[in-house]
A = this chain, B = another copy of it.
Amino acid sequence: MGTPLTDVAIAQAHTLEPITDIAARAGIPPQALITYGPDKAKVDITRLPPGRSRGRLVLVTGISPTPAGEGKSTVLIGLADALRRLGHRSAAALREPSQGPVMGIKGGAAGGGHSQIVPMEEINLHFTGDFHAIAAATNTLAALVDNHVHQGNVLGIDSRRIVWQRCLDVSDRSLRDIVTGLGGPAHGTPRETGFTITAASEIMAVLCLATDLADLKHRLGRLTVAFTFDDDPVTAGDLGATGALAALLKQAINPNLVQTLGGTPAYVHGGPFANIAHGCNSLIATKIALQHSEIVLTEAGFGSDLGAEKFFDITARYGRLDVHGAVVVATIRSLKFNGGMPREELTREDLHHLQAGVKNLARHLSNIQQFGVKPVVAVNLFTRDTPAEREFMRAWARDFRVPLAEVEVWAKGGAGAEDLARTVLAHLSEGATRLYDPAQGVEKSIETIARRIYRATRVEYTPKALRDLAVIRRRGWDRLPVCISKTPYSFSDDPTRLGAPSGHTLHVRELIPRTGAGFIVALTGSVMTMPGLPDHPAADHIDIDENGRISGLF
């Protein structure tokens, strides 16, 4: 027995099928395929014949994330391959990895082991350029705002109230808080601003919620970039920037098509943040997948409280998506951590902490059920999970009448998820519902989510948040759905309260209207929208040889 292969080594040892074959398998007509080399492509949405959704849509989500890791994407990819092994025309719809973390902490994000999407080096490094195009649009808009002020400021923009930030797909703490426009009057007006990572740009959210090019332009035109001295909002449309921004996104709006190691078509497109944005791959990708596949698996960032709730209430609402099933991914290690077991002891068998932690899983299942979907539990096995722990989980599921399947996707790929595939197929249903009606207003929508999903007893607003709420009402934005930014680690807004807390108070600090994306972000804690690099960045280990072979991605 040798040492286990790294993800990049497994991916590089694999012989990929031509992307034209994958496209044929996915039902994409050749005239709508824009190939990017032999194994990547974009689907040209302007050349795709109109179609209706024919597939079943299954959401893959997870328990509250822990440092132990759950492997949500890896399970999704393995499940897609398992469905294909069982004779179903399956497809995966996933987010694109962000290059900042690739160079920083993660070193790559495209599944793992024998459940990966490939070519993983290309997907992790630039891919088809979508993130760069989104950054170009974001930064062009920023330049147009500052230029407007510089060139006479006809609109009367208050340069202290320019809210549009620049972005880059890099982890760079030094760009969080900056002063631009220094050096004298020829170089703009000095002001405080900052960069976010590209995934946090509102244009990322816009691209991922747009239904076509016309809707994209509509949303881009609505982006709020600044306020005037008279306190009126200024939009990208007011600046005449809509057309140029949309032109910059011409290719980025077309979904990317790649393959899993098992040869399943994978649409990998868009990657918005899962707290300050809705955290799902593009609606266009999911809809195209549903038009051409029998069963489509998509994921939402973090657990049922963040990703899944936003998936149902924002993504599925804007896209008029039917959702037919859900998978909640858990690991025994992660459940023990949620039950209070210290991180360094997680490899030890411990039914006591497992029993405590399984409450977290139960809460996520109950949340999913509120959307009218029957959740299935996927226990993603690790080598150190003991027979007693596994039996505990199976017994728990029987007692609570929850369908559960163990998976071994890292080591076995699709072959390790056939049980899960059969379980998912047996529990498909019709007609998912939304949790709330945005017409009830932002305050009421927040309260509904807080009570029913987070199990909070009250919602408290800071004076700043109350002022924001008044502004939102006055400007007619009160009927937009809400996107609550909350720690993923707890159902409460306190990241240390693991398990399944209830009876707490949700603290709303600030409300940020995202008029382009079409939701109101409610901040319940401080959110870092620009990561920093760690002490030993992943970049240290990344290399390329003279034949173009990349190493050091995990």
Q: Mark A residues whose CB is within 8 Å of B.
A: 34-38, 42, 44, 46, 99, 103, 121-122, 125-126, 128-129, 132-133, 135-136, 139-140, 142-144, 146-147, 150-152, 168-183, 186-189, 192, 212-214, 217, 240-244, 246-248, 250-251, 532-535, 537, 539-548, 550, 552
Q: How many copies does the complex hold?
A: 2
A302 → B minimal CB distance (Å): 23
Cα–Cα distance between A189 and B532 once the two chains are bound (Å):
13
Cα–Cα distance between A81 and B147 once the two chains are bound (Å):
40
Cα–Cα distance between A133 and B103 once the two chains are bound (Å):
14
Partner of A152, one of B532, B535, B541, B542: B535
Known: A132-B136, A250-B550. 12 other contacts (CB 8 A): A35-B36, A121-B250, A132-B132, A139-B172, A140-B539, A147-B173, A151-B534, A178-B180, A178-B182, A213-B547, A243-B541, A244-B540
* Contact partners of A143 in chain B: CB under 8 A: 103, 170-172, 174, 533
Q: With contacts A126-B136, A244-B540, A540-B244 known, is A174 near B146, CB below 8 A?
A: yes
Listed by A's residue number, 13 A-B pairs whose Cβ atoms lie within 8 Å are A35-B35, A103-B143, A103-B244, A125-B248, A129-B129, A139-B168, A140-B539, A143-B174, A147-B532, A147-B533, A151-B533, A174-B181, A243-B544
Cα–Cα distance between A486 and B135 once the two chains are bound (Å):
32
* Contact partners of A242 in chain B: CB under 8 A: 543
Residue among A178, A179, A181 facing the most chain B CB atoms (10 A cut-off): A178
Partner of A46, one of B36, B140, B146, B548: B548
Cα–Cα distance between A276 and B400 once the two chains are bound (Å):
70
A189 → B minimal CB distance (Å): 8
Cα–Cα distance between A152 and B182 once the two chains are bound (Å):
29
Closest 7 CB pairs of A and B: A243-B543, A177-B183, A132-B132, A244-B539, A174-B188, A143-B172, A177-B182
A469 → B minimal CB distance (Å): 27
Q: With contacts A126-B133, A213-B546, A539-B241 known, is A172 near B247, CB below 8 A?
A: no
* Contact partners of A129 in chain B: CB under 8 A: 126, 128-129, 132
User: Are A548 and B213 in touch, CB under 8 angstroms?
Assistant: yes
User: Are B544 and A213 in touch, CB under 8 angstroms?
Assistant: yes
Cα–Cα distance between A248 and B553 once the two chains are bound (Å):
12
A165 → B minimal CB distance (Å): 12
A133's closest neighbor in chain B, by CB?
B126
Partner of A44, one of B46, B147, B189, B548: B548
Q: With contacts A103-B140, A132-B132, A243-B543 known, is A248 near B126, CB below 8 A?
A: yes
User: Are B546 and A212 in touch, CB under 8 angstroms?
Assistant: yes
Cα–Cα distance between A169 and B140 once the two chains are bound (Å):
9
Cα–Cα distance between A247 and B547 once the two chains are bound (Å):
11
Cα–Cα distance between A537 and B188 once the two chains are bound (Å):
16
A120 → B minimal CB distance (Å): 13
Partner of A544, one of B42, B246, B542: B246
A553's closest neighbor in chain B, by CB?
B247
Q: With contacts A179-B179, A535-B151, A546-B212 known, is A146 near B126, CB below 8 A?
A: no
A151's closest neighbor in chain B, by CB?
B535
A210 → B minimal CB distance (Å): 12
A548 → B minimal CB distance (Å): 4
* Contact partners of A548 in chain B: CB under 8 A: 44, 46, 213, 250
Cα–Cα distance between A186 and B528 once the two chains are bound (Å):
11
* Contact partners of A44 in chain B: CB under 8 A: 548
A48 → B minimal CB distance (Å): 11
A183's closest neighbor in chain B, by CB?
B177
User: Are A240 and B540 in touch, CB under 8 angstroms?
Assistant: yes
* Contact partners of A146 in chain B: CB under 8 A: 172-174
* Contact partners of A243 in chain B: CB under 8 A: 541-544, 552
* Contact partners of A136 in chain B: CB under 8 A: 99, 126, 132, 169-170
User: Are B187 and A180 in touch, CB under 8 angstroms?
Assistant: no
A31's closest neighbor in chain B, by CB?
B38
Q: With contacts A46-B547, A246-B543, A543-B243 known, is A174 near B168, CB below 8 A?
A: no
* Contact partners of A151 in chain B: CB under 8 A: 533-535
Residue among A140, A177, A540 facing the most chain B CB atoms (10 A cut-off): A140
* Contact partners of A540 in chain B: CB under 8 A: 240, 244
* Contact partners of A38 in chain B: CB under 8 A: 34
A488 → B minimal CB distance (Å): 20
Cα–Cα distance between A212 and B547 once the two chains are bound (Å):
10
Cα–Cα distance between A168 and B171 once the two chains are bound (Å):
16
A538 → B minimal CB distance (Å): 8
Partner of A187, one of B126, B139, B173, B541: B173
User: Are B250 and A544 in touch, CB under 8 angstroms?
Assistant: yes
A540 → B minimal CB distance (Å): 5
A199 → B minimal CB distance (Å): 14
A442 → B minimal CB distance (Å): 29
Partner of A37, one of B34, B139, B168: B34
Cα–Cα distance between A86 and B418 once the two chains are bound (Å):
64
